[in-house]
């Protein structure tokens, strides 16, 4: 067994242990991250942690539960992230996105998919919310565009496009940009997967904005997708940032 295979085996044991405890605790949660990506695409990759999602009102109880079982816990970022540690391994508890846009709510649970993680029944975060969250991950260290393209390729025929549009409507340009990326990467599959009416509708929006009046205020939405690389525009330029929700 290679060192990587050994680490992966240990990680799987750790994840199983945490999910077994969560199952016994009866706390509400959904699995995301690499396992959700595998569930929807069949693509396997080794991940360093386990991602679970819950509502903002629920993470404190989960932290207290694991703390009572001897695990180290922390509220990493009160806006969106907490963690449970066991040595060098950890589980992320995600209840929002760093930009405050993708807060978990009851509808996530209503549309979650039930499956098995080894022998443990778990809920997987909905496909539409998985794509929605990934649209905002476009920073220098991590870009999830390829993940979204694979999700569209493998699940486009099962997507609830209306629900996805409801989620991304305010930031529709990100979805249009992703469609163009998908068209570039998979030119033979684009027409069969991306609804023509949706694509045309987004193109019309872009055309209308191009032909309409420009914003009087100099706005930079960059921090919504990368909180680091666009900071220079806010701090040193004359741009105003879109408000990022805080507690």
Domains of the chain: 1-125 (3.30.460.40), 128-212 (no CATH), 216-247 (no CATH)
Beta bridge partners of 120: 117
Phi, psi of 215 (to 5 degrees): -65, 135
- Measured CA to CA in angstroms, residue 188 lies from 131, 183, 184, 185 at distances of 21, 8, 9, 9
How many residues are listed for the chain in this entry? 247
- Spell out a b/e string for 215-224, using b for 16 or more CB atoms within 10 Å of the CB, else e: eeeeebebbb
- Helices 196-211 and 172-185 sit at what angle, rounded to 10 degrees? 120
Give the C-alpha separation, 207 to 52, whole Å: 39
Helix or strand or coil: residue 53?
Answer: strand
Residue 11 DSSP class: H
For residue 19, which of 95, 108, 134, 116 has the smallest C-alpha distance? Answer: 116
Q: What is the pLDDT along the chain (247 residues), one digit of tens a residue?
A: 676 665 677 888 889 999 999 999 999 999 999 999 999 999 988 777 899 999 999 999 999 999 999 999 999 999 999 999 988 889 999 999 999 999 999 999 999 999 998 899 999 999 999 999 999 999 999 999 999 999 999 999 999 999 999 999 999 999 999 999 999 999 999 999 999 999 999 999 999 999 999 889 999 999 999 989 999 999 998 899 875 544 3
Residue 49 DSSP class: E
Residue 118 DSSP class: T
pLDDT of the residue at 1: 65
User: What is the pTM for the complete model shown?
Assistant: 0.93
- Which residue is it, tokens 């997967």? 193
Give the C-alpha separation, 53 to 67, whole Å: 18
Q: Are 94 and 53 in contact (CB under 8 A)?
A: yes
pLDDT of the residue at 3: 65
- Helices 172-185 and 161-168 sit at what angle, rounded to 10 degrees? 130
Q: Are 194 and 156 in contact (CB under 8 A)?
A: yes
pLDDT of the residue at 171: 97
């Amino acid at each position: 067994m290679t060192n990587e295979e050994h680490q992966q085996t240990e990680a799987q044991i750790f994840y199983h242990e945490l999910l077994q405890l969560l199952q016994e605790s009866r706390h509400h949660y959904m699995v995301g991250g690499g396992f959700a990506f595998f569930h929807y695409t069949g693509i396997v990759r080794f991940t360093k942690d386990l991602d679970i999602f819950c509502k903002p009102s629920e993470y404190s109880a989960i932290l207290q539960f694991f703390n009572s079982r001897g695990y180290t816990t922390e509220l990493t970022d009160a806006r969106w992230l907490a963690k449970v540690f066991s040595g060098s391994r950890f589980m992320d508890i995600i209840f929002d996105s760093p930009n405050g846009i993708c807060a978990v709510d009851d509808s996530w649970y209503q549309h979650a998919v039930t499956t098995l993680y080894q022998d443990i029944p778990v809920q997987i975060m909905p496909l539409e919310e998985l794509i929605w969250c990934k649209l905002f991950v476009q920073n220098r260290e991590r870009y999830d565009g390829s993940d979204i393209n694979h999700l569209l390729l493998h699940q486009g025929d099962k997507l609830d496009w209306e629900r996805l549009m409801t989620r991304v409507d305010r930031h529709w340009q990100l979805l249009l940009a992703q469609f163009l990326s998908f068209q570039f990467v998979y030119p033979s599959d684009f027409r069969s997967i991306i609804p023509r009416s949706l694509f045309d509708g987004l193109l019309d929006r872009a055309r209308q904005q191009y032909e309409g009046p420009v914003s009087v205020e100099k706005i930079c939405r960059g921090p919504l997708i990368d909180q680091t690389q666009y900071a220079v525009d806010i701090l040193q330029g004359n741009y105003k940032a879109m408000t990022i929700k805080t507690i």
